[in-house]
């Protein structure tokens, strides 16, 4: 996944002025040499440790700030999901309480309702336009199924398919973050992240077989996330509000990827549902990917983007960012 800078800074260029007679001219050669020396003094972080332990440092920007954490991918059968029992006891999103003490939580709940209403309106319009086509296809599929059905094979075939699905699900690699009791641990500095890891404090990544090696060898200088592991969730809503012409495909696509990972690892079913296949935000993601690829697919993708409501997208993403922010445990 490629990453780009999501905000552009305009730099005013000034016309070069001739130096005064009393002032010596700068030596371009010396300046270039100095620049080269600076680059030599800033070597890229060594990735050998991260490659060996198969864990990566991640940087996530949220409205409350920017923090560092860790992420890994492992087969689902090898992981024990984070325990959310304690978190969910006081989760306003799960309980859907009528009275919310925190103003931010109340705002997010309202946004849930607004987003659902706007999405329903869009779905109704889509169903009216192609409802007959879908019904015709469903009838044809049903007729074909009746013709191909073989008595006595249904139960055995269903059992075999269920076993295959279980095996595939267990082998599928899923994300796991530096979490504890259903909360994402975000550290404001590399030093605080390393101190926590070395402390032996409980967390969900400690179940990995490479965790001890990481805790013994990790240094603050190693905590240098790659561009593709740096996410700016704090910019998503504002970018969507800017309208279709201002939408940044790379920013929004990457936000969708990390939001899905976080929702899975933190067990946030509402967020997974909002980003699931067939949802309005998933349609947005697919159209953005098509538009970024260029060619005829890019042209069709841009046409699809024009049909996606900017208000619905911004409200949906504001809710997602709010839900993720609500389960973050900030560490200094």
pLDDT by residue (tens digit) across 151-192? Answer: 555 555 666 665 566 666 678 999 999 999 999 999 999 999
Environment class of 202 (CB within 10 Å of its CB; exposed 0-12, middle 13-18, buried 19+): exposed
> Contact, 179 vs 204, CB < 8 A?
yes
Asked whether residue 7 carries a pLDDT value surpassing 70, the answer given is no
What does the angle CA 293 – CA 294 – CA 299 come to, to the nearest 5 degrees? 120
Residue whose C-alpha is closest to residue 273's, from 327, 241, 321, 320: 320
pLDDT band for 113, please (50, 70, 90 cuts). Answer: low
- Convert 129-156 to b/e letters by CB count within 10 Å (16 or more is b): eeeeeeeeeeeeeeeeeeeeeeeeeeee
**Residue 150's pLDDT is what?**
53
Q: Count CB atoms within 10 A of the CB of residue 92.
A: 17
pLDDT band for 46, please (50, 70, 90 cuts). Answer: confident
> Contact, 235 vs 318, CB < 8 A?
no
pLDDT band for 80, please (50, 70, 90 cuts). Answer: very high
Mean pLDDT of all residues belonging to the chain: 77
> Contact, 75 vs 171, CB < 8 A?
yes
pTM recorded for the entire structure:
0.69
Least confident range of 18-27, 141-150, 220-229 = 18-27
How distant, in Å, are the alpha carbons of 114, 115, 239, 252 from that of 245?
Answer: 24, 22, 10, 13
Q: Which residue has the higher pLDDT, 75 or 296?
A: 75
Q: Which residue has the higher pLDDT, 284 or 164?
A: 284
**Residue 97's pLDDT is what?**
42
In 149-205, alpha helices (H): 154-171, 190-199
**Residue 40's pLDDT is what?**
41
What does the angle CA 17 – CA 21 – CA 23 come to, to the nearest 5 degrees? 80
**Residue 229's pLDDT is what?**
98
Asked whether residue 59 carries a pLDDT value surpassing 60, the answer given is yes
**Residue 83's pLDDT is what?**
96
Residue whose C-alpha is closest to residue 84's, from 76, 72, 71, 93: 93
Asked whether residue 41 carries a pLDDT value surpassing 90, the answer given is no
DSSP 101: S
Task: Provide mean pLDDT across the span 230-250.
Answer: 94
**Residue 290's pLDDT is what?**
87
């Amino acid at each position: 996944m490629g990453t780009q800078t999501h905000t552009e800074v305009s730099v005013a260029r000034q016309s070069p002025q001739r130096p005064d007679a009393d002032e010596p001219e700068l030596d371009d050669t010396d300046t270039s040499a100095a620049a080269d020396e600076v680059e030599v003094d800033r070597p890229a972080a060594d990735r050998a440790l991260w490659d060996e332990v198969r864990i990566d440092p991640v940087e996530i920007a949220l409205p409350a700030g920017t923090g560092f954490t860790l992420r890994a991918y492992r087969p689902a059968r090898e992981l024990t999901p984070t325990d959310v029992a304690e978190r969910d006891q006081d989760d306003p999103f799960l309980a859907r309480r009528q009275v919310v003490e925190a103003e931010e939580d109340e705002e997010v709940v309202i946004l849930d309702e607004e987003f659902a209403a706007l999405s329903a309106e869009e779905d109704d319009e889509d169903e009216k336009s192609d409802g007959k086509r879908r019904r015709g296809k469903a009838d044809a599929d049903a007729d074909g199924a009746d013709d191909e059905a073989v008595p006595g094979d249904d139960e055995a075939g269903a059992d075999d398919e269920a076993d295959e699905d279980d095996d595939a699900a267990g082998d599928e690699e899923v994300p796991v973050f530096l979490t504890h009791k259903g909360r994402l641990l975000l550290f404001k500095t590399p030093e605080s992240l390393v101190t926590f890891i070395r402390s032996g404090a409980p967390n969900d990544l400690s179940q990995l077989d490479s965790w001890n090696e990481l805790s013994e060898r990790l240094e603050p200088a190693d905590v240098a996330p790659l561009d593709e592991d740096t996410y700016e969730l704090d910019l998503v809503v504002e970018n969507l509000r800017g309208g279709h012409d201002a939408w940044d495909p790379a920013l929004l696509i990457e936000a969708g990827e990390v939001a899905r990972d976080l929702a899975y690892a933190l067990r946030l079913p509402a967020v997974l549902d909002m980003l699931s296949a067939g949802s309005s935000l998933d349609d947005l993601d697919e159209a953005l990917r098509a538009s970024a690829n260029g060619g005829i697919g890019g042209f069709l993708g841009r046409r699809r983007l024009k049909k996606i409501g900017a208000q619905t997208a911004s409200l949906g993403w504001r809710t997602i960012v709010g839900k993720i922010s609500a389960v973050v445990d900030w560490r200094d």
